[in-house]
Amino acid sequence: MMTIKLKDKIVWITGASGGIGEALAKAFAQEGAIVVLSARRVAELERVRLSLPSPEKHLTLALDICDEQAQQQALAELLARYGKLDWLINNAGISQRALVMDTTGETDRKIMEIDYFAQVALSRRVLSVMLQQKNGQLVFISSVAGLVGTQFRGSYSAAKAALHLWANSVRAELFEQGIRVSVVFPGFVKTAVSMNALTGNGDALGKMDDAQASAMTAEQFATASLKALKAGKSYIVIGGFKEKLAAMIGRFSPELLYKLIRKSKVR
């Protein structure tokens, strides 16, 4: 089995100021990677950086993922310091908790902008560097919701599904040029994602879902993700039994999946 070595690899993680992004940063740093942390909250990024082994090796880059000029500036700063970029982990994103008929078009577009268009724009910029290097790894944090589609997450599911299929196309087009692409599909993870999830009018939900409150920790998710990524996996589903089962049924019996989802309680 393949085992990818991470020591001294330059790994850029977006959405790294907490939750899954913070846990991934710690997991990669423990493997010897040099981690570049990006998010909007600079103070939180610094907190994360200082918690890593050999914090002086790592870098924080403030970034609004939807600002393409800021993307270019951040990439330039990264390259000025390290001269290369080995991995990009597209983790920044926002979730949703609203029925489709209660969601405004403006909220639809905001979710797609953050969860799809911004990720694609940054990835394309990074790919221009990786193609010159003739190697690189893209990782997209999608969602089981992007595989199955569930109530209260219509726009979010659509954005995460779009990200998955764009990643598939990149993998097909650029594999021979040294580019590897992995997509990770988390189930419920105990983070603040539901607190920040958008309601139909674009406001933050402001509370944690019961399913997330009792879910796996971000650290457990990061450990499982790292193991699969080091093994060279491209399609990685991480979650509880029900989430993994739903993802599997969706691939082999979509009609059965639709029936199960209609009966499920996923809020």
d(CA 111, CA 198): 8
Q: Is residue 240 included in any domain, yes or no?
A: yes
Is residue 3 domain-resident? no
The β-bridge partners of 190 are 217
Above pLDDT 90, what percent of the chain? 87
| Biggest alpha carbon–alpha carbon distance for the chain | 53
133-153 mean pLDDT: 96
Of 170, 168, 142, nearest to 156 (Cα)? 142
CA dist., res. 238 & res. 27, Å (int): 16
Q: For this structure, is 258 an active site residue? A: no
Q: Sorting pLDDT into bands at 50, 70 and 90, what band is 208?
A: confident
The predicted structure's pLDDT at residue 267: 67
- Asked whether residue 155 is domain-assigned, the answer is yes
Number of domains composing the chain: 1
Q: Which CATH number goes with the domain that contains 147?
A: 3.40.50.720
The domain in which residue 67 lies consists of 10-263
Q: Scanning the structure block, which residue is given the tokens 């800021």?
A: 70
Q: Can you tell me the distance from the alpha carbon of 205 to that of 210, in angstroms, rounded to the nearest whole number?
A: 13
Give 34's contacts (C-beta < 8 A, 6+ positions apart): 8, 9, 10, 11, 57, 58, 59, 82
Please write the tens of the pLDDT for every residue from 152-162. 999 999 999 99
Identify whether 225 is part of a domain: yes
Burial call 85-94: b when 16+ CB within 10 Å, e when fewer: bbbbbbbbbb
Which residues are paired to 138 by β-bridges?
88, 181
Does residue 4 belong to any structural domain of this protein? no
> What pLDDT score was predicted for residue 209?
78
Which residue in 82, 156, 235, 258 is the catalytic one?
156
- Residue 211 reports pLDDT greater than 90: no
Q: Is the dihedral of CA 195, 214, 234, 82 positive or negative?
A: positive
